[in-house]
Amino acid sequence: MIVQKAEIVKEGTTECLVFKKKISKKGPGSKDNEPFYNPSMESNRDLSIVVNQWFVNNCKKHACLLDGLGASGIRGIRLANEIDGDFAVTINDWNEQAFSLIKKNLELNKLENVIDSNKNLNVLLLENKYHYIDIDPFGSPARFVDSAIRSIYNNGIIACTATDTAPLCGIYPNVCWRRYGARSFHSYVMHEIGLRILLGFICREAAKYDKGIEPIVSYSADYYFRVYVKIRNGKDYANESMENFSVISPKESFIFSDNNEHDIGPLWLGKLHNKTAIKEIRTLLFKKELNTKNSLWKLLSLFEEEANAPSFFYITDDFASSLKMATPKLKKIFEKLTSRGYEVFRTHFSPTGFKTNAYLDEIKKVFKENMI
Ligand SMILES: C[S@@+](CC[C@H](N)C(=O)[O-])C[C@H]1O[C@@H](n2cnc3c(N)ncnc32)[C@H](O)[C@@H]1O
């Protein structure tokens, strides 16, 4: 049993009571049943404010938003407090302590556009429909995705956090295989593979119900993955999405050739972001009071740049060392490849990474020119 005093924190313009520290690891709460506040997720929550503002602005009807795994409720409380428009938020958590904290936070913030709920998220999703569903668990969101896809309205958004990066990044490939039905791959490109496995899983789950997916924003941060995926009803959308669902043979590319014999995936090989949406979301940042505004601005500009980039990337240092040469400046690589008519993009996965449509031989040539 967790015996703990709640403390007030402020994120954005919202004050919330939260449980800050873990006192006991024992008791009925397994890790998944503990309503603790994680300060390092502030930027994750800040981004959900602007994405939801964009979504509500574009939703032509009253929007039903769900914070499905609320803990203190800070995410949902912030949505209710910090975004404008015609919407209501449901905040749910099956844990009794979490539920009573959510209720206290509703009183503290004097919110009226919020419904509290104390159910198993899967049950709630089978009983109700929503336009936006946020799934922010400890670990994997996999066990909630099927019911979220059934529950979401056409053109609604499912947002998922996955903190089970070790399975998704190939450290525990068997766990990934069980959970997501995909083979992960531990390598420098593991974060992009992990993110794409998560998207591929959502794509596959949606297709069962003749629904397709369109990733709006997808990213890898310190120790988690986060995706915002639009769900579109219709078998044509499902078929179109499934064209992006495939395995990769390690023989296909230099990027995967490092001691790997097995196919990787299946995973999502389509776009990670919607460029137009990201531009609009980025402009909304100016209108909000957010502590992580500056870092989000930079992150969103990287997403915007890589939105139309090919899948996977090279890292300058690794590429140079495979050619047994010193590392050239990223700027030079961009100039050289662009001057030869290729597209080159920065990527949020690595500060020294780049994505390009140039063939491997061309990249090697460019590296070998004297560019230091
Ligand atoms: C990581 S915390 C949520 C953090 C919160 N979204 C935030 O931003 O601070 C996960 C929460 O999910 C709740 N939970 C786990 N499984 C659940 C289920 N099946 N139904 C409802 N709540 C659940 C736990 O009680 C815990 O409070």
| Domain residue ranges in the chain | 7-306, 314-368
Average pLDDT over residues 45-71: 97
* 3-state SS, residue 329: coil
Entry pTM: 0.95
| pLDDT for 28 | 36
Alpha carbon of 225 to ligand 1 centroid (Å): 16
Cα-Cα-Cα-Cα dihedral of 85, 13, 299, 250, to 10°? Answer: -80
| pLDDT for 369 | 84
Cβ of 33 below 6 Å from ligand 1: yes
What would be the CATH architecture of the domain defined by 314-368? 2-Layer Sandwich (3.30)
Average pLDDT, the chain: 93
Are residues 36 and 71 in contact, defined by beta-carbon separation less than 8 angstroms?
Answer: yes
Strands 130-135 and 211-221: unpaired
Alpha carbon of 299 to ligand 1 centroid (Å): 26
pLDDT tens digits, residue range 306-337? 999 999 999 999 999 989 999 999 999 999 99
Residues 6+ apart with CB under 8 A from 126: 147, 150, 151
Q: Which CA distances in Å does 257 have to 90, 187, 313, 333, 362? A: 47, 10, 14, 23, 18
* 3-state SS, residue 310: coil
| pLDDT for 67 | 98
Give the span between the Cα atoms of 37 and 73, in whole angstroms: 9
Cβ of 45 below 6 Å from ligand 1: yes
Structure token pair of residue 127: 């009983």
Q: Which atom of ligand 1 is nearest to the CA of 67?
A: 6
Does the pLDDT of residue 256 top 90, yes or no? no
pLDDT tens digits, residue range 76-88? 999 999 999 999 9
Q: For the chain, give me the number of helices (H) and strands (E)?
A: 14, 14
Ligand 1, atom 4, lies closest to the CA of: 71
Does the pLDDT of residue 371 top 60, yes or no? no
Alpha carbon of 35 to ligand 1 centroid (Å): 6
Q: Which atom of ligand 1 is nearest to the CA of 163?
A: 1
Alpha carbon of 196 to ligand 1 centroid (Å): 24
Does the pLDDT of residue 372 top 60, yes or no? no
Give the span between the Cα atoms of 226 and 50, in whole angstroms: 14
- Asked: is 7-306 a CATH 3.40.50.150 domain? The reply is yes
Give the span between the Cα atoms of 243 and 26, in whole angstroms: 46
**Residue 255 pLDDT class (50, 70, 90 cuts):** confident
